[in-house]
Structures are given as structure tokens and as C-alpha cells.
């Protein structure tokens, strides 16, 4: 597999700070028909336009999606739903995200996860959110053009609230209830926009639809301001 290097966090892929997640990566069985050698099985770097005005933040790599391919939201149902719609909304050069070397590029959008290693049951521990927050903070500092933080799912939203609290931008998490397409203006001028996760479950139950996700993407672009020249 291509050796990925995070454009913002070059040391990230070597991180082994969370023993439970390191153990899980070492023992996670591959999906039927695949081999462990096909899997990335390391912290998953962020991906996209480092000058983006919109930063999409998810929860954590999917076991057989991003953890296999090495790119956020790539190789599982959440990404299969999301990437064609990102393309439709003008954020990418192609509709599919299949592999980390598939020539996909993002425009005005950067994507990363709150926790960079796949957690058992898709549920990071509070200590793992805390441990990985340092990377999230560094991304937040380095993505200097970001005007909109678009969070997918309640857990990612809360993770970003903790980030903002750690930076003195908010005081009480309870003042920022999660809601689909709900937006908060922060003291630094950035917008925090919440969205349901694009998980297969949410898609199958109709909690999120192509139309409602496109609406959130339009909202994000509108909040970011006029198109870049
Ligand atoms: S979750 Fe984050 S802090 Fe923990 S091992 Fe992975 S990269 Fe390091």
C-alpha cells in the first residue's frame, strides 16, 4: 500500500499513544476475502485541501473502510454515500473514493476524524478522544483558512466542542445542543455546523438522505462565503 504522509501531521502515522487501539490494530481480522496485508492498520491521516474553508470532522476510521484504505470515509458505506454527493456539490474532481492513490482531490474541503485509529465497536473511550485531541487541535491551528467546521454525527460534534473549549472559544458544552443542520457562530468568526452521520444505518433508516446531506453542504458553502476566485 502507498505510504501515506499526513500533510498536516507527518508524525501521526507512527503514533502509538493509545494501548487499547494499538492492540486492536494488531489483531483486527480482515474482512472475508481480504488479507491483513491489504489493510492500512495505522492512524489514518486527514485528507484534502489544506487551504480549505470547510473542515469536515468525523468520528473515527471504519474498521474495514478508512482503516483498510488509509483515507477517511473510504471503502465503506458512509463514504460510498458521502463522496458522490461531495462531487455533486462541487467539492471534488471525481465521484468515487476507492483507494488512497485513486487521484481523487478535494477542493475547499478537508476531511479528518476526531480519533485517528479505529476503535473496537466504533466507540472510542473518553481517554482516547482526549489523547487524540492534540492532533485535532493541531489540525485546527494549521487549517488557517477554515471558516466552517462541519461535524458528522453527535460524537464528532461533541469532540469538536471539547476542542473549542480547550481553546477558550466556548465555556459550557450544554449551551451547544446537537441538531442536524444546526449552526453556531463562534467568537473567532468560525461557524460550527452539525450534521447527522452518513452511516449506513442512518441512510437505511432515512435519518439522512442525499437531499438532506446536499442541503447541509450547500449551507456550509453559504456560511463559508463567496466562492474562492
Ligand atoms: S487514536 Fe490518536 S492518540 Fe491514540 S494512538 Fe491513534 S493517533 Fe495516537
| C-beta separation of 193 from 181 below 8 A | yes
**Mean pLDDT (whole number) for 26-35:** 93
Which fold would CATH assign to domain 12-224? Uracil-DNA Glycosylase, subunit E (3.40.470)
Q: To which residue does cell 472475508 refer? A: 32
pLDDT tier for residue 8 given thresholds of 50, 70 and 90: confident
Q: C-alpha grid cell for residue 55? A: 473542515
Dump pLDDT digits (tens) for 57-76.
Answer: 999 999 999 999 999 999 99
Q: For position 6, what pLDDT does the model report? A: 72
Q: For position 7, what pLDDT does the model report? A: 74
**Mean pLDDT (whole number) for 201-226:** 96
Q: For position 227, what pLDDT does the model report? A: 67
Dump pLDDT digits (tens) for 12-30.
Answer: 999 999 999 999 999 999 9
Answer yes or no: is pLDDT of 1 > 80.
no
Give the span between the Cα atoms of 187 and 141, in whole angstroms: 15
**Mean pLDDT (whole number) for 25-42:** 94
Q: For position 216, what pLDDT does the model report? A: 98
Residue 115 C-alpha to ligand 1 middle, in angstroms?
7
Q: To which residue does cell 473515527 refer? A: 60
The rounded mean pLDDT for the chain is 95
Dump pLDDT digits (tens) for 162-178.
Answer: 999 999 999 999 999 99
**Pocket of ligand 1, candidates 131, 134, 135: which has the most ligand atoms within 8 Å of its Cβ, to mutate?**
131
Residue 130 C-alpha to ligand 1 middle, in angstroms?
10
The atom number, within ligand 1, closest to the CA of 15 reads: 8
Dump pLDDT digits (tens) for 46-58.
Answer: 999 999 999 999 9
Domains in the chain: boundaries = 12-224
Q: For residue 99, how many other CB atoms are within 10 A of its CB?
A: 16
Amino acid at each position: 500500500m502507498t505510504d501515506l504522509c499526513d500533510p498536516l501531521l507527518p508524525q501521526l502515522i507512527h503514533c502509538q499513544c493509545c494501548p487499547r487501539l494499538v492492540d486492536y490494530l494488531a489483531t483486527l481480522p480482515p474482512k472475508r476475502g481480504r488479507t491483513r496485508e491489504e489493510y492500512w492498520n495505522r492512524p489514518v491521516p486527514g485528507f484534502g485541501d489544506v487551504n480549505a474553508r470547510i473542515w469536515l470532522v468525523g468520528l473515527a476510521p471504519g474498521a474495514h473502510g478508512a482503516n483498510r484504505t488509509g483515507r477517511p470515509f473510504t471503502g465503506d458505506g458512509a463514504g460510498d454515500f458521502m463522496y458522490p454527493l461531495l462531487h455533486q456539490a462541487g467539492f471534488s474532481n471525481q465521484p468515487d473514493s476507492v483507494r488512497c492513490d485513486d487521484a481523487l482531490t478535494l477542493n475547499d474541503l478537508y476531511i479528518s476524524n476526531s480519533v485517528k485509529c479505529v476503535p473496537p465497536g466504533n466507540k472510542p473511550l473518553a481517554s482516547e478522544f482526549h489523547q487524540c485531541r492534540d492532533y485535532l487541535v493541531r489540525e485546527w491551528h494549521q487549517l488557517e483558512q477554515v471558516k466552517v467546521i462541519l461535524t458528522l454525527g453527535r460524537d464528532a460534534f461533541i469532540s469538536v466542542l471539547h476542542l473549542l473549549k480547550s481553546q477558550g472559544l466556548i465555556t459550557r458544552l450544554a449551551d451547544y445542543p446537537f441538531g442536524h443542520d444546526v449552526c453556531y457562530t463562534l467568537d473567532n468568526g468560525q461557524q460550527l455546523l452539525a450534521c447527522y452521520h452518513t452511516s449506513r444505518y442512518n441512510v437505511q433508516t432515512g435519518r439522512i438522505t442525499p437531499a438532506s446531506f446536499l442541503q447541509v453542504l450547500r449551507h456550509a458553502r453559504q456560511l463559508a462565503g463567496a466562492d474562492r476566485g
